[in-house]
Amino acid sequence: MPTSRYGTMLKVLAVVAAILLVLALVVINAPRGAVGSRLTPADVIRKLMSSDSSLPPEEFYNYYVAGRPLLIRVSAVPSLMGKDPRNVHVFASVPGKGWVEVPVRIFTKCSRLGTSRKYCIVPKVMGPDTVLIIKAPPSPATQAPTQEDVVEVLHRLGSVREAYDLAVKCSVGGRTYVIHYLMVISNLTNSWVIRGELTDEREENDFDAWGIQGFHSRVERGASNGLLPKSLINEVLRYYASTPIQVNVSAFKEIHAEVTG
C-alpha cells in the first residue's frame, strides 16, 4: 500500500510540473501588457506605431496624429486672456477643401456627473487656467496662414474681428510635427465650444469621431493581421479620439487683414 501511494504522488507531481511548464511558456511568449493585466489601448497604439516606424512622415501623421485632441493651455498664449471663448473659431488647411473649421473645446475645469457624464465649465473670458482642446487636422498643415487665407475664412464664416497664426509642436511616436492653425475671433458663437460643456462618455459624439478615419483604417488592418484582438478595436478608437496630447505653442502671431465684425 505505501508503494502504491508513493506511485500516485509521483504521478500527481508530474502532472503539476507539466502544468507549471505550460504556464511558464505562456508567460514568456505573452505580448507586452498581457501579463498580469490586459493589453491596454496605449499598448496597442505603441505596438502599431512601432510596426510603422519606417512610414513616410505624411502617412505616419495620417495614421497616428490626424483627429487626435491636442491640449493647449492659455497660460502659454497670454494674448488670448480676456477673450470670450464662445467667439473663438479654429481653421486648418485641408488639401482640396481649403480652410476647414476644426472642432475645439474650451473650458477651465470639468466635474463628474455620475459615472459617465462630464460637465466642463466654459468661462465668460479666458484666463491662465483655461484649456483649449483642438483636433489635429486630417493632414499636416505646415504653411502659416496669410491675409488671403483670412479673407477666405471671412467669406465662409461671415464674421472675423481678429485673426492669428497658431502654430503648435506635436510629438508622437518619435516624430515631431509643427501644425499651423488659423484662429479667428468672431461675433458668431462656436457651437463646438457650447456642445463641449456637457458630454456623456458612453455615447459616440461628433467631436471624438472627427478626423480619425486614418487611424480607424489602421486599427482594422492591424486586427486583421493579428496585431491586436478584434475585441479591443472600439476601446482603442475611443482612447485615441478622446485622450488629449499636450503640445507646445511655437508661434502665435496676429495676421493683419481687412476684416469685418
Give the mean model confidence (pLDDT) for residues 142-157. 92
Report the candidate in 157, 59, 137 with the shortest Cα–Cα distance to residue 94: 137
Where do the structural domains in the chain lie, given as residue ranges?
1-30, 31-254
pLDDT value, residue 148: 94
**Three-state secondary structure call for residue 76:** helix
Residue 18 has pLDDT above 60, yes or no: no
Q: How far apart are CA 131 and CA 40, in angstroms?
A: 27
Report the candidate in 72, 92, 91 with the shortest Cα–Cα distance to residue 80: 72
Q: Identify the residue whose cell numbers are 472675423.
A: 160
- Overall residue count recorded for the chain in this entry: 261
Q: Find the largest Cα–Cα distance for the chain.
A: 104
Q: How far apart are CA 164 and CA 141, in angstroms?
A: 15
pTM of the model: 0.82
pLDDT value, residue 182: 97
Q: How far apart are CA 155 and CA 66, in angstroms?
A: 26
Dihedral angle, C-alpha 175, 178, 184, 190, nearest 10 °: 0
Band the pLDDT of 198: cuts 50, 70, 90: confident
The amino acid occupying position 176 is: T
Q: Are 249 and 77 in contact (CB under 8 A)?
A: yes
Over the stretch 73-96, which tens digit does the pLDDT of each residue have?
A: 999 999 999 999 999 999 999 988
pLDDT value, residue 36: 42
Mean pLDDT computed over every residue of the chain: 86
Residue 27 has pLDDT above 80, yes or no: no
